Structure 1
Amino acid sequence: MNKLLVALGLAATVALVGCNKEKAPETGATTGEHLENAADQAGHDISQAADEAAAKTKAATEEATAKIDAAGEEAAKKTEAAAQDVKESAKEATAATAGAVEQGAADMKEKAQQ
């Protein structure tokens, strides 16, 4: 973007000086040739800036996709671990309840026999 601004500034400066069609002694090029060269350079700079922006956008998209994938895998692992914990807790609760029922039945049987 800075290259574009420099190129446009150069073009504006040349335009302000005037459209002198005579050869300039320092370069041998006419003002029209300078403007044409500046326009060509600006076109190349714009193209290069667009290519750089596309490459950076692609890299950012790939990085974001990788992070989203990693987060999805992590969430799946945590969900699976939580489900396993719930399953184990349910087994333990069922076993404790069954034990309490059996103990209560044994106590009742013992009292009934006395």
Structure 2
Amino acid sequence: MKKFTYIFLALFSLSIIVSSCREEKTADEKVEEALDEISEELEDASDDVKDAAEDLKDEIEEVKEESGNNG
């Protein structure tokens, strides 16, 4: 029975030590991280729009060439 008590106390102590070592972020850090994520997402969206515009331009040029050759 003593061994069980010692094991329980050791595990309990270990869990307290491990859980108290967690580093929590401040509100400023959380806001900064969120702004960084939004900035990255906006940059990705901007790149996607730019790529779509270039694709559209290429398709318009192809249609112009095809209609010029057929007419």
Same fold (TM over 0.5): yes
For structure 2, the 5+ residue unaligned runs are 1-22
Which residue pairs with 1:42 in the alignment? 38
Which residue of 2 is the match for residue 57 of structure 1? 53
Structure 2 residue 61 is the aligned partner of structure 1 residue 70? no
Number of paired residues? 50
TM superposition shift of 1:59: 0.4
Residues 30-85 of structure 1 deviation map (CA, whole Å, 9 limit, x = unaligned)? 1100100011011101100000000000001101100111001101xxxxxxxxxx
Larger relative contact order (C-alpha < 8 A, sep ≥ 6)? 1
Task: Quote the sequence identity (%).
Answer: 18
- Give the root-mean-square deviation of aligned CA atoms: 1.4
5+ residue gaps, structure 1: 1-26, 76-114
Q: In the aligned structure 2, how far is the partner of 1:68 from the partner of 1:50?
A: 27
- Bigger Rg over Cα: 1
User: TM-score, normalized by length of structure 2?
Assistant: 0.66
Give me the whole-angstrom Cα distance separating, in 1, the residues matched to 2:24 and 2:65. Answer: 60
Match of 1:31 among 27, 33, 53: 27
Q: Return the TM-score normalized by structure 1.
A: 0.42
- For 1:65, the aligned partner's letter is E
